[in-house]
Amino acid sequence: MVDRSTAEFKSYVDAYERASLLELGAQADAARWRLHPSSQVSYIIDRNINYTNVCVADCKFCAFYRRPRHLEGYVLSFEEIGRKIEELKALGGVQILMQGGHNPYIPFEWYLDLLRYIKRHHPIHIHAFSPSEVDFFAGRFGMSIETVLRELMAAGLDSIPGGGGEILVQEIRDRVAKKKAGADRWLEVMEVAHGLGLKTSVTMMYGLGETSADRIEHLFRVREVQARSNGFTAFICWPLQPEHTALEYLGKTDAVTYLRTQAMARIVLDNVPNIQASWVTMGPKIGQVALRFGANDFGSLMMEENVVSAAGTTWRMTLPEMHRLISDAGYQPVKRRQDYTLLPEAA
């Protein structure tokens, strides 16, 4: 557990709340250059595939899901998923990010068959099933986390996205996502995955009514797991998109809060190699500024995004636009692989 009374913890909360924006940016930028002493900014071309929107978790911040038997509920067929992958490959895409709701009607064999189908007919890197889904599978099918992951890996799973992290403080999760994997369990899934050799990303969605100390605790918990398992490749944070959700009354946090939060992440998470800018939620201009606030990666040129966009504002861009934005901010855009190694030629 995180001890909030230590001098280190207090100093980070103090910096988060009181340091000037530019001071935080300068510290985060210095940390970024220590880890990545080059003006290259990476990005990836991938596609978000949400295989089902049927879910029983009822997260209060989610406008994407539909309860079972709702007329708008869906499960994608293997063929539809295959078509989406081929469209992605035609644009030079190298991975799919596949996540879905906690759908109680899908048997475990379906997931294994899906992974095998993709690897056999549309081979690509499969970044899929957030810790909340893995925890749901374990509970639903009476298996340990390790067994679930081993079976998914044997069928073709390559890495795990950091979705569903929100704020890794139990009191906050109890208020907004009570039925989903708790903070300890979410981190446990990640640590088991790392132990099995799976790399994962890690996220934070803030603006759920938590305090600054809650956000810093989230970062400390990530750093603590990373010190043991070293499997987190990248951190990305974004604010709650409250429109059309039960948390609409909380309102939206602003761009300054985003930049301060991302900067703190770069400063605290000295053992997580990459920080991704979230231009999808913050827009391209703030995405550019984020490169001076600790981010060394411009994230994904996503062909499809359904979850955040269901709750309102999201942004899209073309490859030339992405290159221009990165270049105009003073960096060199470089396409990367799913493991964050850079591809030799700028695409």
Catalog residues that contact ligand SF4 under the rule CB under 6 A: 55, 57-59, 62, 64-65, 101-102, 132, 180
For residue 87, list its beta bridge partners: none
Query: What CA–CA distance (Å, rounded) separates 56 from 58?
Result: 6
Nearer to ligand SF4, 102 or 215 (CB): 102
Nearer to ligand SF4, 55 or 183 (CB): 55
* Minimum separation from the CB atom of position 133 to ligand SF4 (A): 8
Nearer to ligand SF4, 16 or 64 (CB): 64
Going by their DSSP bridges, the two strands 125-128 and 95-99 should be labelled as parallel
* Minimum separation from the CB atom of position 36 to ligand SF4 (A): 31
* Minimum separation from the CB atom of position 62 to ligand SF4 (A): 3
Asked whether the beta carbons of 98 and 305 are under 8 A apart, the reply is no
Distances (CA, A) of 183 to 34, 71, 135, 207, 229: 30, 32, 12, 17, 17
* Minimum separation from the CB atom of position 292 to ligand SF4 (A): 31
Nearer to ligand SF4, 57 or 94 (CB): 57
The secondary structure of 302-333 as a DSSP string is ES---TTGGGS------HHHHHHHHHHTT-EE
Distances (CA, A) of 112 to 104, 153, 290: 16, 9, 38
Nearer to ligand SF4, 24 or 76 (CB): 76
* Minimum separation from the CB atom of position 313 to ligand SF4 (A): 17
* Minimum separation from the CB atom of position 307 to ligand SF4 (A): 7
Burial 120-129 (b: 16+ CB within 10 A, else e): eebebbbbbb
The count of residues in the chain is 347
Q: How many CA atoms lie within 13 A of 93 on its CB side?
A: 27
Nearer to ligand SF4, 273 or 312 (CB): 312
